[in-house]
Amino acid sequence: MSAFIIKRLLWGIPTLLVILLLCFLLLDHSPGKTVDTYMSNNFEGVKSMENVEEYEYYYIQSVKKLGLDKPAFYFTLTNRAMLDTIGRITFLPKKTQAEKLSATSGNKKAVGEYFHTIDYLLNQVRRLTDTVFVQKNELTRELYNAKKDADYSEKLEQISQTIDDKNIASQLKNLLEQQKYFARNKPSASLLIPAIKWNGTDNRFHLMLTRLFSGEKNISLIDSRPVWLKIRESLRFTLAINLLAFILSVFVSYKLAIWLSMNAGRRVARSVNSLMFVLYTMPAFWVGSMLLMFFSSSTYGSMLNWFPPGGVGDIGQGDNFFEIVGIRLHHYLLPVICISYPVIVFLTTHLKDSIKDASGNQWAVTARAKGLSEVSTIKRHVLRNAIFPYITLLGNIIPSIFAGSVIMEVLFNIPGMGRLAYQSIISRDWPVLFNIILISGIITVLAQILTDILYAWLDPRINTGK
């Protein structure tokens, strides 16, 4: 059995790597927007059009903080026309423009000279005083815009005609000629020649792997707190609610399916089946809203105000273990009911149908012919064979329960991982969101592995040695 377990765990590693790669691709699809989100929440006083030099400084610091100054993967697929120093550009708008110019012109030498001219002009303009050249700030902004957009600038042409410094005026005219060159130039054949650049371990994907379970390096874009610290604080509430929902769902569905099978055809069984059908058609968020309205407020009478309207309760320093459990359960009961009742109906229906199919087999008929009661036949013979489809469903409902808890945690104001994922979507805190997705993927893989192990343990016919 131990070899079987190890083999199943090893088979789960490629799946986790695929999930990890997909999360990385989603997280890394727009580095510029990631930096903008981080800066808007951590450098609110920095505005791009008021002080462009200060903005670029904080922008580059943010890029380095987030690890976006490195190439994306272990190797880069590009072409021979791409600028050789593209990987060392930390100002992402400039990097995007360099990639665009290299891809459209195919002349990496001209692209390098274009940005060299801009950097030279910025250094020259910094030496001027406002009294010598009153358009200094305006020229600085236009030069920074030229880093992001290489289209011909009429504003730069006007400034070049009014400036007294002949060196700067000459370089401005040179810059304008370069912009005209990119506007009329056609792509060259070098764009068709592929090139592969090996980046080694100094890349963003490798950095994400090393930061995966680290502390302070993997940070949130909103408050710069470690991602895993935020997830760890919320995960305990999600695990508690989902574990209670899972235990309740399995226990009730197992007992209810057996009871319905033993009472098949009776009026009470038909009534329960009809009630389950009605419950299954009700959306869980609507049921949760109704429970909050009727049992968590005095709107329909104080006699029904049995439960708190949300949260997880306040724990005092002097509260003992049983008092803490009581407070938590008082707050967890309504969301657990909302998460578990669709699962109970689903599992009960499938197990009941499996029992019905297995009851028609020859060995079940033989057991009844020998004088066994219907209860003994189901429990001792039928259930042993009908349980395997039920076990398969258990592995599938675990991720479903975690997915359903997102809505319930938001509705009942529970500070769990589901509500954290919802808040991350609203605030575009992608590092937190995709780490939560990764955890959900790990839980799904582990649930399938546990299902296989449970199968092998219950059915000795499964050869665990192969």
Rounded distance between C-alpha atoms, residue 130 and residue 136, angstroms: 6
Residue 215 DSSP label: S
Nearest by Cα to 66 from 372, 464, 438, 429: 429
Average pLDDT over residues 3-16: 80
Which amino acid belongs to residue 112?
Answer: G
Confidence check: pLDDT of 464 > 60: no
My answer on whether 279 and 204 are in the same domain is: no
Flag whether 14 is in a domain.
Answer: no
Contact 119, 91 (CB under 8 A): no
**pLDDT of amino acid 411:** 92
Flag whether 428 is in a domain.
Answer: yes
My answer on whether 232 and 374 are in the same domain is: yes
Q: Which residue has the tokens 């609203």?
A: 426
Q: Which domain holds residue 237?
A: 227-458
Rounded distance between C-alpha atoms, residue 362 and residue 358, angstroms: 9
Rounded distance between C-alpha atoms, residue 60 and residue 363, angstroms: 74
Last residue of a domain, one of 183, 211, 239: 211
Q: Which residue has the tokens 């055809």?
A: 265
Instruction: Dig out the tokens for 140 from the structure.
Output: 């600085």
pLDDT digits (tens, 9 = 90+) for 119-152: 999 998 888 776 556 678 888 888 888 988 888 8
My answer on whether 358 and 437 are in the same domain is: yes
Flag whether 27 is in a domain.
Answer: no
Q: Report percent pLDDT > 90 for the chain.
A: 19
My answer on whether 316 and 172 are in the same domain is: no
Side-chain half-sphere CA neighbours of 404 within 13 A = 25
Q: pTM of the prediction?
A: 0.81
Flag whether 352 is in a domain.
Answer: yes
Domain count, the chain: 2
Flag whether 18 is in a domain.
Answer: no
My answer on whether 56 and 176 are in the same domain is: yes
My answer on whether 284 and 364 are in the same domain is: yes
Flag whether 2 is in a domain.
Answer: no
My answer on whether 104 and 148 are in the same domain is: yes
My answer on whether 188 and 268 are in the same domain is: no
Rounded distance between C-alpha atoms, residue 293 and residue 333, angstroms: 15
My answer on whether 265 and 192 are in the same domain is: no
- The pLDDT confidence band at residue 300, using thresholds 50, 70 and 90, is low
Mapped onto helix, strand or coil, the DSSP state of residue 258 is: helix
My answer on whether 155 and 273 are in the same domain is: no
My answer on whether 206 and 238 are in the same domain is: no
My answer on whether 394 and 432 are in the same domain is: yes
Last residue of a domain, one of 163, 187, 211: 211
Average pLDDT over residues 46-53: 66
| Range with lowest mean pLDDT among 152-161, 377-386, 405-414, 431-440 | 377-386
CATH number of the domain bearing residue 308: 1.10.3720.10
Strands (E), 154-296: 194-198
Flag whether 88 is in a domain.
Answer: yes
Last residue of a domain, one of 163, 185, 211: 211
Average pLDDT over residues 25-44: 84
Rounded distance between C-alpha atoms, residue 167 and residue 124, angstroms: 9
Flag whether 25 is in a domain.
Answer: no
